[in-house]
Amino acid sequence: VGMWVGKFHILKYNFIPELVKNNPDVFWILVFAGDLEKQKVQAENVKIFHNLPQEDLVNLYNLADFTISTSAVESFGLTQIESASCDTKIICYRTGAFFDWWDDRLGIRIEEHTLEKFQEAVKKIKEEDSTKYSPRQAIIDKGLTIENFDKGILEAVEYVTKSQCNYTSV
Kindly report, residue by residue over 51-87, the tens digit of the pLDDT.
888 899 999 999 999 999 999 888 888 899 999 999 9
Of residues 84 and 156, more confidence is placed in 84
Q: Rounded CA gap, 15 and 169, in Å?
A: 44
The H-or-E segment that residue 13 falls in is: helix 10-13
Average pLDDT over the chain, rounded to an integer: 87
Q: Rounded CA gap, 88 and 110, in Å?
A: 17
At residue 53's C-alpha, the angle toward residues 59 and 95, to 5°, is 75
Global pTM value = 0.83
Residue 113 pLDDT? 95
Query: Of all residues in the chain, what percent carry a pLDDT higher than 70?
Result: 91
Q: What is the DSSP letter of 110?
A: E
pLDDT at 167 over 60: no
pLDDT in tens, 116-155: 999 999 999 999 888 899 999 999 998 887 787 788 778 8
- 108: which strand partners? 91
Average pLDDT of span 91-109 = 93
Residue 147 pLDDT? 84
- Are 20 and 28 in contact by the 8 Å Cβ rule? The answer is yes
pLDDT at 41 over 80: no
CA 122 vs CA 34, 132, 154: distances in Å: 26, 16, 39
CA 92 vs CA 78, 133, 146, 156: distances in Å: 12, 15, 22, 29
